[in-house]
Structure 1
Amino acid sequence: MSHASTETGAGHGSYGSYAIGFVLSVILTVIPFGMVMSGNFSRETALISMLVMGVVQIVVHLVCFLHMNTSSEGRWNLLAFLFTVLIIVMLVGLAIWIMVNADMLMMPWMFK
């Protein structure tokens, strides 16, 4: 049974795509967890693997669950997602910049 489209024509994923996304998510979680719990890998290797698997898992979630693809509806979703990411990066980055500058201006004796 596939949920191909709705009244508005927006495509949704099938049970198969959700199952593939779920299995990939579990695998991408278990691999770094196993690396850390086994203790056979250096701290740097475990950290790099967690970061790489995390980025891959973000892509899996975007494609399998949020249906980001190259169709016309998918492009609009992708554009809205990228705009949201841009706004969040700007808010967090500017907040950190303001806090660092405020700290430097309030404690000038520490930076002489």
Structure 2
Amino acid sequence: MSNQHAESGTKGYIIGFIASLILTAIPFYYAGTQSLSAHTTYAILFGCAIVQVIVHFVYFLHMELKTDEGRWNFISLIFAAIVVLIVIGGSLWIMWNLNINMMM
């Protein structure tokens, strides 16, 4: 039984690795060839980045919402993301405010 889990785990890692390679190669190709407009290239880059984050969560971090443990892991991830956004947003706000108020 454990052998079956090891094979499915290896298969999942290979699928995730190949998907990550493809999602990395696509933006590199369009950025390198400059065959599309800058806005389209940025949209492709952003879209591939979002999909790649999801691929990493599913195939490498095993974030699944089916189990109770997976739901708690997801809730912890969302909480950490909110804290990081608050810290980054607050830092940018403070720097912007200092820049405006300290200009001569």
TM range (shorter): 0.7 to 0.9
Q: In 1, distance between residues paired with 2:64 and 2:14?
A: 18
Q: Which amino acid aligns with 1:100?
A: W
The TM-score normalised by the length of structure 2 is 0.88
Q: Which amino acid aligns with 1:22?
A: F
Q: Answer yes or no: is 1:88 the counterpart of 2:84.
A: yes
38, 57, 62: which one aligns with 2:52: 57
- Aligned-pair identity in percent equals 35
After TM superposition, the structure 1 = structure 2 runs for residues 72-111 of structure 1, keeping only pairs within 5 Å, are 72-107=68-103, 109=104
Q: In 2, distance between residues paired with 1:58 and 1:105?
A: 38
**CA deviation profile, 1:40-85 (whole Å, cap 9, x unmatched):** 1111111110010001100110111111111111111101111110
Q: Answer yes or no: is 1:33 the counterpart of 2:33.
A: no
The TM-score normalised by the length of structure 1 is 0.82
Q: In 1, distance between residues paired with 2:100 and 2:37?
A: 36
After TM superposition, the structure 1 = structure 2 runs for residues 61-72 of structure 1, keeping only pairs within 5 Å, are 61-70=56-65, 71-72=67-68
The structure whose residues are more often helix, as a share, is 2
Q: After the TM superposition, which segments of 4 or more aligned residues of structure 1 sit over 4 Å from their partners? A: none
> Can you give the 5+ residue segments of structure 2 that lack an aligned partner in the other structure?
none
Q: In 1, distance between residues paired with 2:83 and 2:48?
A: 25
Find the structure with the greater CA-based Rg: 1
Q: Which amino acid aligns with 2:31?
A: V
Aligned-residue CA RMSD in angstroms? 1.6
